Amino acid sequence: MKHPIVYILSILMAVLFSGAAIADFEGRTKCSSCHKSQAKSWKDTAHAKAMESLKPGARKEAKVKANLDPEKDYTQDKDCVGCHVDGWGKKGGYTVDAPKKPLAAVGCESCHGGGKNYRGDHRKAGQTFESKGTTTQRKVLADKGQDFQFEEACAGCHLNYEGSPWKGAKAPYTPFTPAVDPKYTFDFDKMVKDVKAMHEHYKLDGTFAGEPKFKYHDDFQANAKEKTADKKGKGKE
């Protein structure tokens, strides 16, 4: 048996180094106050409407096909809500008991990571870039919980079912699996470019540099739109 101190230390290390310890969720309001273009585009996506689908009478056909009751209200059902909101089961995340609107639906932090610890660095980096032209390393953000891979985050909702190829799967599972309809098959490389579910991409000034950089970052930037009304480091923190 391990010495008790070694045991306690190993738990402490696990807590300190797991992403969960730094993934503090706050809701999309903060992100949206600076990134207005992405926020506006996100509003029209399937992810933004994820809570609507849990309401009685919504998506009747799909629910019947998945053996769900189309007339039932699932908006407070703990077997459902977790994948239709931000930060379920994580610090600062959505709860059924004290539901917060900026955390309802699949918002910014579901993909980019809980933002409490890294968003201040976005402001600082934006200001430094504007005044001195110096870039900031993405690693600073990644160390504070910003996600640049996305694949695991998507899998946690889309590939969470029994018999899934994703090894992290655990209940509650999604009722919408490839066995119900092949259209529910999740292919990351294809889905991450789906315009119905993903916000559009807008040109960045290049404030952040270095690894980790998302594998399609350069592709997305090559085809990105001009921003409309974003503020640089001047939004609410």
- Restricted to residues 210-229, the positions that interact with ligand HEC (CB under 6 A) are 214, 216-217, 220
| Contact by Cβ (8 Å): 237, 125 | no
Residue nearest to ligand HEC (CB): 115
Q: Is 145 in the site for ligand HEC (CB under 6 A)?
A: no
Q: In angstroms, what CA-CA distances link 217 with 45, 115, 176, 221?
A: 20, 20, 29, 6
Q: Is 73 in the site for ligand HEC (CB under 6 A)?
A: no
> Judged by CB, which is closer to ligand HEC: 22, or 122?
122
Tokens of 82: 């977790």
Q: Is 237 in the site for ligand HEC (CB under 6 A)?
A: yes
Q: Which of 57, 149, 205, 228 binds ligand HEC (CB under 6 A)?
A: 205
Q: Is 150 in the site for ligand HEC (CB under 6 A)?
A: yes
H/E run at residue 136: strand 136-137
**Closest listed residue to residue 84, CA positions, set 65, 68, 64, 107:** 107
> Judged by CB, which is closer to ligand HEC: 15, or 193?
193
| Contact by Cβ (8 Å): 13, 101 | no
| Contact by Cβ (8 Å): 51, 84 | yes
- Restricted to residues 102-131, the positions that interact with ligand HEC (CB under 6 A) are 106-112, 115, 119, 122-123, 126
Q: Is 202 in the site for ligand HEC (CB under 6 A)?
A: yes
| Contact by Cβ (8 Å): 76, 82 | no
Q: Is 83 in the site for ligand HEC (CB under 6 A)?
A: yes
Q: Is 180 in the site for ligand HEC (CB under 6 A)?
A: no
Residue 85: how many other CB atoms lie within 10 Å:
25
Contact residues for 133 (Cβ-Cβ < 8 A; gap 6+): none
- Restricted to residues 29-68, the positions that interact with ligand HEC (CB under 6 A) are 30-35, 38-39, 42, 46-47, 49-50, 53-54, 59, 62-63, 68
Q: Is 166 in the site for ligand HEC (CB under 6 A)?
A: no
User: 181: number of CA atoms within 13 Å, CB side?
Assistant: 12
Q: Is 162 in the site for ligand HEC (CB under 6 A)?
A: no
Pick the piece of the chain touching ligand HEC (CB under 6 A) from 3-11, 13-21, 95-103, 207-215.
Answer: 207-215
